[in-house]
A and B are shown apart, each in its own frame.
Chain A
Amino acid sequence: MEAKEKTRRNTSETEGRIWFNFSRRNFLTVAGWGLFFATIGAYLSQILGYKGFFYPKVLFEPSPKFAVGEPKSFLENSVTTLKSRKIFVVRDGNSFKAISVVCQHLGCAVEFSKEKNIFECPCHGSKYYRNGVNFAGPAPRPLSHFEVVLSDNGKLVVDTSKIVPIETELIV
């Protein structure tokens, strides 16, 4: 405690001085080190910083937003599995939904059973209704629903980066 107070007193005594005093004698030393650390800092920020070298501008990955076809190409009251896109396109009358195939338990791909009209997970037996709501097995929550929009050229476009509430549907 005493030492702390002493430091504080010393600080207040020197308050009148300039922020950092160096003589002309060591100006070049200070300037050199300053330049050195400024350069290092500039390099590090460009390499490790936000939108720097390690922040790729272009990803060689499939786009999360993709067209799945015209509305009429899906049968009325049907569930279409798009395996490579990992989604189901569910059509009920004029309503369209895009539901993820990824089970909410441990990430297996669920399958649609036409006879029972439910989604079933082959791994641990989770079951989901046709609207994606879980009702049996270990699944803790409903399947993810993705945003579906109608593009200008009349195609359904799914964006798997945007998860929407399960009541959401696109009426065409």
Chain B
Amino acid sequence: MKLIPDLIKKITDNEIWRSVFRHGYADTPRNRVLQIISNIWLHLHPAKVREHGTKIRFTWCMGGITFFIFLFETITGILLMFYYVPDVNRAYADIVDLMYVVPFGRFLRNSHRWGAHAMVITVSIHMFRVFLTGSYKPPRQFNWVVGVILLVLTFLLSFTGYLLPWDQLGYWAITVGTNMARATPFLGHEGPFAYILGMRADNDVRFALLGGTMIEAPALLRAYVWHCIAIPVMASALMMVHFWRVRKDGGISGPL
């Protein structure tokens, strides 16, 4: 009784399956290419990868792992949004409920946080690898710049997520972080050359981050919207460019 092969045949050998997956599993070079380029999820990838591109000791797989963590953070984040309200009177209580009452909530929240830490680490190691292998050199300069923006977006995701529990840790972290923004040259009201643009406490870059001069309800709402919608959308768009450019710039760069 060959249960699994029979089952696979039953599932795949019909018109419905063939209408979705137009190219079968025939293991020919042409069909492999067709499988990749006719699939919306796979077509961003190169149809063929050079052998060194699959060598873990060359790539460390840190970009792929970062992307995987991003997907994981998206899924756990969406789930957390079902129980979290960004209201100053409710936010902390909702987090406590997630930790102590909601089934599976503690695991989701903790894994979201660990995932966030891990993503900062893996994205940094990815950048380190790209630097060591010289993969920022022509023709890949533009993709390096896209990667740097993605790095900044990763940091901003971490930063905005920090405030959301509305606890002492997040509150003071955002206090310190936005006090740094206060000292930005030109754009912060305590920074150098602030007078040129006429910066005050109620119109500088810190004011834009917090939606006010203090960490209050608008700051929590802004952190929430940036964290859950705006930055993930920007990062997703740039990731598409990033992966596509890896392909267009000649695949994963080879050993020097």
**Which positions in A face B, CB cutoff 8 Å?**
11, 14-15, 17, 19-21, 46-47, 51-58
Contact B1 A47 (CB under 8 A): no
A121 to chain B, nearest CB (A): 38
User: Are the CB atoms of B103 and A51 closer together than 8 Å?
Assistant: yes
- Provide a sorted-by-A list of 14 A–B residue pairs whose CB atoms are within 8 angstroms: A14-B2, A17-B2, A20-B4, A51-B103, A52-B103, A52-B104, A53-B103, A53-B104, A53-B105, A53-B108, A57-B101, A57-B102, A57-B103, A58-B97
Distance in angstroms between the alpha carbons of A11 and B105 in the assembled complex: 47
Which residues on B sit within 8 Å (CB–CB) of A52?
A: 103-104
B11 beta carbon closer than 8 Å to chain A = no
Least Cβ–Cβ distance between A56 and chain B, in angstroms: 7
Which residues of A sit under 8 angstroms from B103, Cβ to Cβ?
Answer: 46, 51-53, 55, 57
Q: Which residues of A contact B102 (CB under 8 A)?
A: 53, 56-57
Query: Is B25 on the interface with A (CB-CB < 8 A)?
Result: no
A interface: dominant SS = loop
B1-28 interface code vs A (CB 8 A; 1 in, 0 out): 1111010000000000000000000000
Q: Which residues of A contact B149 (CB under 8 A)?
A: none
**Are A20 and B2 closer than 8 Å at their CB atoms?**
yes
Q: List, in ascending order, chain A residues with CB within 8 A of B1's CB.
A: 11, 14-15, 17, 19
Q: Are B97 and A46 in contact (CB under 8 A)?
A: no
Q: How far is the CB of B172 from chain A (nearest CB, A)?
A: 30
Set of chain A residues within 8 Å of B3, measured between Cβ atoms: 19-20
Q: With a CB–CB cut-off of 8 A, which chain A residues contact B108?
A: 53
A5 to B: closest C-beta gap in Å: 15
Interface check B79, CB cutoff 8 A: yes
List of B residues within 8 angstroms of A14 by Cβ: 1-2
Of all chain B residues, the one with the shortest Cβ separation from A12 is B1
B101 touches A47 (CB 8 A): no
CB neighbours (8 Å) of A57 from chain B are 101-103
What is the chain A residue whose CB lies nearest that of B6?
A11
